[in-house]
Amino acid sequence: MAPKENEICKTLFIHEETVQKVKELLPEEEIIFELADFFKILGDTTRIKILHALFISEMCVCDLSNLLHISQSAVSHQLRTLRQARLVRFRKEGKVVFYSLKDDHVKQIIEQGLTHTTEGPQ
């Protein structure tokens, strides 16, 4: 028979020094909240596809729309979200707006996520 939850840990903590050390090193709540929001932005398959496409080349909305088989309006909406999160930047050339990754951090995060998800069981 498995122990009840209150029977497992009858003290507040077992390793007081470890708890204190971790507590001191945890980021502030506001930073953790912002990090969670950042990962929520990455929690959308269309946005991941857009970011991955932009690893390879800067692209305009029309080309992204064609690549992903979704409307230009849908691409623009996702790009606006990515811009607000400071993940992509844009430049204008005449009437055409080209998008690219804001910096290499974004590429590194996605690449690490891909590596993690494609690794076999340990």
Tell me if 48 is assigned to some domain: yes
Tell me if 9 is assigned to some domain: no
Helices within 2-122 (DSSP H only):
5-8, 16-25, 29-41, 45-56, 61-68, 72-84, 104-118
pLDDT category, 75, cuts 50, 70, 90? very high
Q: What is the pLDDT of residues 6-59, one digit of tens each?
A: 556 566 768 889 989 999 999 999 999 999 999 999 999 999 999 999 999 999
Give me the domain span that covers residue 108: 27-117
Instruction: Find the CATH number of the domain harbouring 105.
Output: 1.10.10.10
What is the number of domains present in the chain?
A: 1
In this predicted structure, the answer to whether residue 2 has a pLDDT above a threshold of 60 is no
Tell me if 44 is assigned to some domain: yes
In this predicted structure, the answer to whether residue 121 has a pLDDT above a threshold of 80 is no
Determine the pLDDT at residue 119.
87
Average pLDDT over residues 88-108: 94
